[in-house]
Amino acid sequence: MHRRRAFTLVELLVVMAIIAVLISTLMPALNKGREHARFVVCKTRHRNYAFAAFLYLPDNNGVFPEPRSGLYGWDPLGQVQRGCLWHDEANNLYNRPDLAGPLWPYLEVLDTNLCPTFEVLARQGSHSCGIPMEPQRSFSQNALLGSGYGISKESEVERPAQTFFYAEENPFECVPGVSSWAINATFLVAFWALSHRLSEKRGFTDSFASFHHAPAGDVTAGVGNAAFIDGHVETVVAEDTYYLARPTRRRRMP
Please give the helix or strand (H or E) that residue 27 lies within, else none: helix 9-59
pLDDT values of the chain reduced to their tens digit, one per residue, 254 residues: 555 566 676 666 777 777 767 666 665 555 566 787 888 899 988 888 888 888 999 999 999 999 888 888 866 545 556 678 899 888 888 888 888 899 999 888 766 889 999 999 999 987 777 888 999 999 999 999 987 676 889 999 999 999 999 999 999 989 988 888 899 888 898 875 444 444 444 455 899 999 999 998 899 999 999 999 999 999 999 999 988 998 887 655 55
Is 250 a member of any domain?
no
Is 29 a member of any domain?
yes
Is 253 a member of any domain?
no
Range of the domain at 110: 9-245
pLDDT at 157: 93
Buried b (16+ CB within 10 A) or exposed e, 3-13: eeeeeeeeeee
pLDDT at 197: 42
CA 25 vs CA 12, 89, 112: distances in Å: 20, 39, 34
Phi, psi of 228 (to 5 degrees): -100, 165
| Alpha-carbon radius of gyration of the chain | 23
The CA distance from 164 to 182, in Å, is 18
Is 180 a member of any domain?
yes
pLDDT at 194: 42
Please give the helix or strand (H or E) that residue 233 lies within, else none: strand 233-236
pLDDT at 188: 92
Is 170 a member of any domain?
yes
Tell me how many domains the chain contains: 1
Is 4 a member of any domain?
no
| 227, 164 Cβ separation under 8 angstroms | yes
Angle at 234 between CA 233 and CA 239, to 5 degrees: 130
Is 254 a member of any domain?
no
Q: Does the pTM exceed 0.85?
A: no
E-strand spans in 86-189? 139-142, 164-168, 187-188
Is 110 a member of any domain?
yes
Bridge-partner residues for 146, per DSSP?
Answer: 151
CA 12 vs CA 9, 18, 21, 23, 26: distances in Å: 5, 10, 14, 16, 21
* Cβ-based neighbours of 43, under 8 Å, separated by 6 or more: 225, 233, 235
